[in-house]
Amino acid sequence: MTTLVDTDTSLRFSDAEGLALDPYARWMRFELLDRGDGLRGQLRPSDHLLGNPQLQLLHGGVLATLLQLTGAAIVMDAMDLKERPRLLSSTVQYLGAARAVDTFCRGRVISRSRRFTTVQAAIFQGSPEESIAAATLQFLLVE
């Protein structure tokens, strides 16, 4: 399997095996980063991602997608999968306003079985300790 990310640089989402065909991810310009502390999803600010252009706030659907894509990448990396796992359920908590600045998402696998995996993920801007959204995501592993 091709490595999802290079440890020294960011890799564009469209280069990540198994995730490259998602047109919404390409439209969002989603990127995966690995800086030695685990995978992170990243969105750079762009006008087409705004839910409220007057206040310069990101759309809630963009945040939910960032959580889902990052969660899927974490599962693929942790379990050495070639295909993107299928999302079965997600519970998203919006904790604060998402300004139009660089936005990051990180997560971890909290449970796994032969067919299912659960990931907790959080979005932050600035300090990783100050989440603006969080989710619990359950994935079906594709065989």
Q: Give 17-55 pLDDT, tens digit per residue.
A: 445 557 878 888 888 888 777 899 999 989 999 998 889
Split at pLDDT 50, 70, 90, the class of 143 is: low
Query: What does the pLDDT average to over 53-62?
Result: 91
Q: How far apart are CA 78 and CA 25, in angstroms?
A: 21
- Is the pLDDT score of 3 beyond 70? no
Could you please report the per-residue DSSP string of 89-104? EEEEEE-S--BSS-EE
Q: How far apart are CA 67 and CA 85, in angstroms?
A: 14
pLDDT at 25: 81
Q: Find all residues with CB under 8 Å of 113, minimum gap 6, and list them.
A: none
In this structure, the number of other CB atoms found within 10 A of the CB of residue 79 comes to: 13
